[in-house]
Structure 1
Amino acid sequence: MAAFEIEVDGGTLFGIEQGNGLPVVFLHAGVCDHRMWTHQFDALDENIHAIAYDRRGFGKTVSENVEFSELDDLSAVLDHFDIRSAVFVGCSMGGGLAIDFAIAYPERVAGMVLVGTALTGAPDFELPEELNPVLQAEEVARELGDVDMINKVQAHEWLDGPGQQSGRVGGAARELFIDMNGVALRKPKLEHEIVPPSALEHLSKITQPALLVYGDYDFPDIIENHRILEDELVNAVSMVIEGTAHLPNLERPDLFNPFLSQFLASY
């Protein structure tokens, strides 16, 4: 495994890579960084060229508060490695980025694994009232400006699941989440991201194979995104990893990794 840095307008992207062969780019969630994919890197065959990088505002990537596009940054990563087309494995915001990239640059996307994915332009979804206490706890923490409290609440929301007991997931997974999200929460805010247009009207144009994976403890609106994708993507297979929340690959790599390996073996 080797670290790399890529100069982009107003910043430097940091990432790691390993192996040779099929290019697979891992795109992290908005409460994590490239380290959320450690268990997947450890399990991958050497014939996979695995790449994971920290997007602006996360991990070891640095950026000035300039106008930027996630699509341009992802293109820069592919260009850096002279990759014409890759498989993308994206979680949450990383999954949303993969979808947006497939719409903007279909020729550069060979396939996608979308985990608890965001969806640009997703319709409003009213969350059930029983989730109000945890949502209100985050609101209070933000009003107080207490980064540690925000981090703890978000660990409850995204790692444990918003309707589950706080602390359900412990050990190394929780320690890593708190560290990754803590880094992101303390970084300066970037206020000039160019957000892609809604993906909803273009989903049916995505013909590449897609594996949809989510945990049944995730937020209901995330699960609804997956239902939309199941209906709209013409070449998608959906899997539920029961008893997991927003980060099933981190929480239960023993269940997630076989799905990933099987999908990649088809290339």
Structure 2
Amino acid sequence: MPHPFTLDIDGVTFAGLEAGEGVPVVFLHAGVCDSRMWQSQIEAVAAAGYWGVAYDRRGFGQTVSPDESFSHLEDLEAVLEALGIHAAVVVGASRGGALAIDFALASPERVAGLVLVGTSVTGAKAPHFPPDVMRIVNAMEAVEESGDIDAINAVEAHAWLDGPLSESGRVKGDVRTLFHAMNGAILRKPQLTREEPGESAVDEVGGIGAPTLLVAGDLDFPHIIHRHDDLSEDIENAFAAVIEGTAHLPSLERPDLFNPLLLEFLDALIGDETNPD
């Protein structure tokens, strides 16, 4: 099981999970989750001879921060420094994927490889939604205005966990319970109002030189699937996979399908240098 840790850095207490030893694999969570979304992946990479690390960004999970000016990219750099990690394979989902891209562009020498799952890209234009998807977007906006946290959580679970065009409640059991716990904690946290926006990466992704694994679920929002396709063409050393029957969080929904992809990528990237057995 992953072990919890905390890091006190300049008045912020970052919380996270880690397990294993060896080449670091750093996991960056989605904007509707926290580090707990990666528990299965941390266990899998630790068992394979790597060091799996995930932390809660400001505004998420167990991390505690004052409402002050901050940058998620600078926070990532500070967390890695505190953990003694110079270079790593970086795995990011959704907004965590956008942060992984930002880090790869800012510090390419520190990124041995990238895994981007249903990724966002900093500076991307607002998407144009087809009418059938627009209905769920309108529902999300309406319930957000109501301020009813439980209702917001339910609608966001439909959109991001089930998929916007899927039946509400498609994903059941422990995965749904964990999603509600993670997203509910985010919705109940005090808002941080002074985040410094990152520089647009939309026109820079072609400069990523690190080997990159792109993963998307075929039930995700159409614009995210299209972005996945575009990135597979824009990033020279990219490998793309679609996990059928999953939505925005395929690593959480189907770790039995995602984890082998991740481990195969790591083995191809790092190879026998780290795992001589």
TM range (shorter): over 0.9
Q: Does residue 178 of structure 2 align to residue 176 of structure 1?
A: yes
Separation (CA, whole Å) in 1 of partners of 2:186 and 2:5: 20
Shift of 1:135: 1.6
Structure 1 residue runs of 5 or longer lacking an equivalent are: none
Separation (CA, whole Å) in 1 of partners of 2:237 and 2:125: 22
Separation (CA, whole Å) in 1 of partners of 2:43 and 2:80: 22
Counterpart of 2:64?
62
Residues 176-255 of structure 1: pairs in structure 2 closer than 5 A = 176-255=178-257
1:192-247 Cα shifts (integer Å, max 9, x gaps):
11111110221121110000000010011211221221121110000000110000
Tell me whether 34-43 or 253-262 shows the greater mean CA deviation.
Answer: 34-43
1:143-199 Cα shifts (integer Å, max 9, x gaps):
211010000000000000001100000000000000000000000111111111110
Counterpart of 1:4?
5
Q: Does residue 161 of structure 2 align to residue 159 of structure 1?
A: yes
**1:95/1:118 contact within 8 Å kept:** yes
| TM-score for both structures, normalised by structure 1 | 0.97
Counterpart of 1:41?
42
Q: Does residue 29 of structure 2 align to residue 32 of structure 1?
A: no
Residues 33-182 of structure 1: pairs in structure 2 closer than 5 A = 33-44=34-45, 45=47, 47-182=49-184
Separation (CA, whole Å) in 2 of partners of 1:27 and 1:150: 23
Separation (CA, whole Å) in 1 of partners of 2:48 and 2:172: 31
Tell me whether 86-95 or 197-206 shows the greater mean CA deviation.
Answer: 197-206
Shift of 1:140: 1.8
> Any runs of at least 4 consecutive aligned residues in structure 1 with deviations exceeding 4 A, and if so which?
none
Letter matched to residue 131 of structure 1: V
In the comparison of the two structures, how many residue pairs are matched?
267
1:110-132 Cα shifts (integer Å, max 9, x gaps):
11100000011123321110122
Letter matched to residue 76 of structure 1: A
Report SS of the residue matched to 1:16.
strand
**1:122/1:225 contact within 8 Å kept:** no
Separation (CA, whole Å) in 1 of partners of 2:11 and 2:216: 34
Separation (CA, whole Å) in 2 of partners of 1:145 and 1:232: 40
1:82-132 Cα shifts (integer Å, max 9, x gaps):
111000111000000000001111111111100000011123321110122
Letter matched to residue 109 of structure 1: V
Tell me whether 2-11 or 209-218 shows the greater mean CA deviation.
Answer: 2-11
Report SS of the residue matched to 1:76.
helix
Separation (CA, whole Å) in 1 of partners of 2:194 and 2:151: 27
Tell me whether 140-149 or 40-49 shows the greater mean CA deviation.
Answer: 40-49
**1:10/1:66 contact within 8 Å kept:** no
